[in-house]
Amino acid sequence: MLRFICLLILAATASGQGTALQCDGHSDGVFADLEDCTVYHLCHGGRDYQIRCPDGYFWNDDVHSCRLADIAHCCSGQGVCEATSYAEDVTRLAGRVQTLEADSSDVQGQVNSLSTENTALRTQLTSLQGETDNLTVENVALRTELTSLQIVAADLQDQLKNITVPVVPRTTISVKVVSAGFDDPGYLGGRGEVWVDGVQHAMNGRGYNLVIVNERTGQMEDSVRFDTHGDPAAGVSLRDFIRGVPVGRIVLIAVHDEGSTYAGDAMAELNSLGSFSPDIAHRTSWAMISKKGSKTSWFVEDERDRYAGPTVIEAEIPLST
């Protein structure tokens, strides 16, 4: 009852001055609102003080107090709730308690599940930490071993610096000369290549391609070309070049495309290199491996008629000591 009086005082204070709308024709007392069953009116001296029940409570006009009730029990158009017994209230509260307990049980189950997962994760973390510690130990061991190997490598490097490897001089060189006329099958346009130990040194242009090799070292000393088809002075230039080659040098020659037109002035010099048939026909392929000043056992010369090339010759040449 004290609680009810306090609620009345608080509600009256909160509502301020009342109205006479609900209290007209009523004596002093407490009356239900005709539209809102959560509100009741305190009439006093013709004034109306509207008071709202706490959340979840509704005005019960039979017992003149706010009661816990289902809104479905609110009487439409009368603004009051049907009377409910305390037993019904207790049953309703018990149901709510059971619901809350069930919810609490579910929450506890989730907490237990999370706790189990947390324990598993902690176990995994501990395991991973152990593996990490093992890897750290292995890493330290590997670093120690690496440092040791680096020291050994440095010692070996120092030893290698003091080792003199004797250089075995070459005693021979392998040469290959390829000549193709303009119309030779597979070599349209011609070819003039000179290979020494697998390296191509010729200029590979139209006319006579010459490569000069040192007979002692096997090193290429010069590579020239004379266009004896397009340059009227090329024959003289070829002659003068051969005359200037030091005696003893290895001379390798390949004709590319066509070399007969203006080569006449160089025939005598080509003969001096050991050639049997330097005066070739139009677009004939021709190649020679020779030595300036003397004819050797490895001398090679060959030619192919037009359309019948290419001419390919090879030799293993011993170097002079």
User: pLDDT by residue (tens digit) across 274-305?
Assistant: 998 888 999 999 999 999 999 899 999 999 99
Domain C-terminal end among 85, 102, 131: 85
Rounded to an integer, what distance in angstroms lies between the CA atom of residue 121 and that of residue 126?
8
The CATH number given to whatever domain includes residue 31 is 2.170.140.10
Whether 77 maps to a domain, the answer reads: yes
Are residues 274 and 299 in contact, defined by beta-carbon separation less than 8 angstroms? Answer: yes
Rounded to an integer, what distance in angstroms lies between the CA atom of residue 81 and that of residue 35?
11
User: In sequence order, which residues have a C-beta less than 8 Å from that of residue 62 and are 6 or more positions away?
Assistant: 83
Domain C-terminal end among 62, 85, 108: 85
The residue to which tokens 């005696």 are assigned: 247
Q: Which range has the top average pLDDT, 6-10, 12-16, 115-119?
A: 115-119
What is the value of pTM for the model shown? Answer: 0.51
Q: How many domains does the chain have?
A: 2
179 and 302 in a single domain? The answer is: yes
* Mean confidence (pLDDT) of the chain: 84
Rounded to an integer, what distance in angstroms lies between the CA atom of residue 146 and that of residue 140?
10
Whether 102 maps to a domain, the answer reads: no
Q: Residue 248: give the domain boundaries.
A: 172-318
Whether 229 maps to a domain, the answer reads: yes
279 and 182 in a single domain? The answer is: yes
Name the nearest CA neighbour of 37 among 83, 4, 2: 83
78 and 182 in a single domain? The answer is: no
| pLDDT tens digit sequence for 15-49 | 433 333 457 667 788 777 777 777 877 787 778 88
